Structure 1
Amino acid sequence: MVTGICDSEGETMGGSGPSRRRGAELERAILDAAWDQLVAEGYGRFTIEAVAARARTSKPVLYRRWRTREELFRATIRHRGAAHVQPVPDTGGVRGDLLAVLRGANSGRSNVTALLSVLVTSNFEDIGMSPSELRAELIGDRATSVDLILDRARKRGEVDAAKLTPRIADLPFALLRHEFFMTFRPVPEEVLTEIVDEIFLPLVVPDEAQ
């Protein structure tokens, strides 16, 4: 039995014999492998050769789709963001919803935490993108979980729409990112609760509710 990697488009060899992945299936497999390579080894070892090996395909297969590793990197971030959209929590109240989404983002399994981990171990000049640009690639044109949560809260009268400036609306995640960058560790539960209860909600609840 021949084993190894074949240079023909989409053909791979495994222990059970040859199989073929083509088109969208092949591209998904490559981008999934690219994300795994990025998280496991960081941007410094995010190369066409490394991704091809992890995807069990050949470098020419990748170069036919992405001319540089920078193009592959952007495609990987966009793919991960679109393919792993988490359900928006609906606990019945803005406090519970915000805590649920912060806990999800704080998880080591989340896209956010994985991408932050890559950033803190990489040189921004090598990546060629700022953290905000990376976030934009990850989210794409979708509304964020916090956007949807706060929109529901407005309709329920839990928050004052006039107080929700873009910067204040982003505050829970901005504080989460700050805590992560300061410690490189998941944020403790008591800090998540403090962010919601003592910092964010007092800024946005209607005056009559205070």
Structure 2
Amino acid sequence: MAQRRRGAALEKALLDAAWDELTESGYARFTMDAVVKRAGTSPPVLYRRWPDRDELVRATIVHVLSESRPAVPDTGSLREDVLTLMREIATAHVQLVTVMYAHLASYYRETGRNPSDLFDPVTTGRAAALDTLFERAVERGEVRPELLTERIKTLPFVLLRHEILSTFAEVPEHVLEEIVDTVFLPLVR
């Protein structure tokens, strides 16, 4: 007999089921009933936590972003740190980026939210991770801190996202190196 899930284990199972439903069916066909069935639970269990599908989608995305956050590399150079992070995103996170931007387009239209609303840096820890990476580069004297605006710090990752959404495929190494070497690093040195 299966053991009854409770607390954090139950919430994780519900959010994982919601993610699976989103990736397989898309937002247009995403229903609370489908998540209940996929999670093997009852509607009250799901509705006690999230009153509607939009709140469930938001919680699911925050959950997935938190769980999928890559480790902050520490290679000893900003170039290699950024490339290491981009390589992981460009290979292991193509599905995540695709779902976040392409499959959830109707979610953004219906709710008035946008993808950046879901990238809550406090909840996901993404901002702190990037700040650590850049603080190390400043300490090593690789970059001028006054040049590290928020837009500049995110630029390589925005360009990477563009590449993924242009092809829906893994991004080749030479493209990653071009982004870092010809666009990003000249802006911070």
TM norm. shorter chain > 0.5: yes
Deviations 1:11-67 (A, max 9, x none): xxxxxx343111222111111111122222221222111111111112221011111
**Structure 1: 5+ residue stretches without partners:** 1-16, 206-210
Counterpart of 1:158 (choices 133, 139, 142) is 142
Deviation at 1:114, TM superposition (A): 2.9
User: What is the CA distance between 1:98 and its match in structure 2?
Assistant: 0.5
Query: Which structure shows the bigger proportion of residues in helix conformation?
Result: 2
Q: Partners of 1:148 and 1:75 in 2: how far apart? A: 26
Computing the radius of gyration from Cα coordinates, the structure with the larger value is 1
In 1, the alpha carbon distance for the partners of 2:121 and 2:26 equals 17
CA offsets 1:61-102 (integer angstroms, 9 cap, x no match): 101111101111111122222333321111111111110000
Q: Which has the higher contact order (CA 8 A, sep 6+)?
A: 2
| Counterparts of residues 16-165 of structure 1 (less than 5 Å) | 17-107=1-91, 109-110=92-93, 113-118=94-99, 119-121=101-103, 122-123=105-106, 124-126=108-110, 128-136=112-120, 140=124, 142-165=126-149
Structure 1 residues 199 and 154, CA gap change in structure 2 (3 angstroms): same
Question: In 2, are the aligned partners of 1:81 and 1:138 still within 8 Å (CA)?
Answer: no
Change (3 A) 1:162 1:138: closer
Q: Which consecutive unaligned segments of at least 5 residues does structure 2 have?
A: none
**Cα displacement (A) at 1:151:** 1.1
Are residues 138 and 58 of structure 1, via their aligned partners in 2, closer, same or farther at CA, if it must alter by over 3 Å? farther
Aligned pairs, number: 186
The Cα of 1:172 is off from its aligned counterpart by: 0.4
Q: TM-score, normalised by structure 2?
A: 0.88
Residue of 156, 181, 187 corresponding to 1:197:
181
CA distance in 2, matches of 1:116, 1:85: 12
1:142, distance to aligned residue in structure 2 (A): 4.8
Aligned CA RMSD, in angstroms, stands at: 2.0
Structure 1 residues 62 and 85: CA distance shift in structure 2, 3 A: same
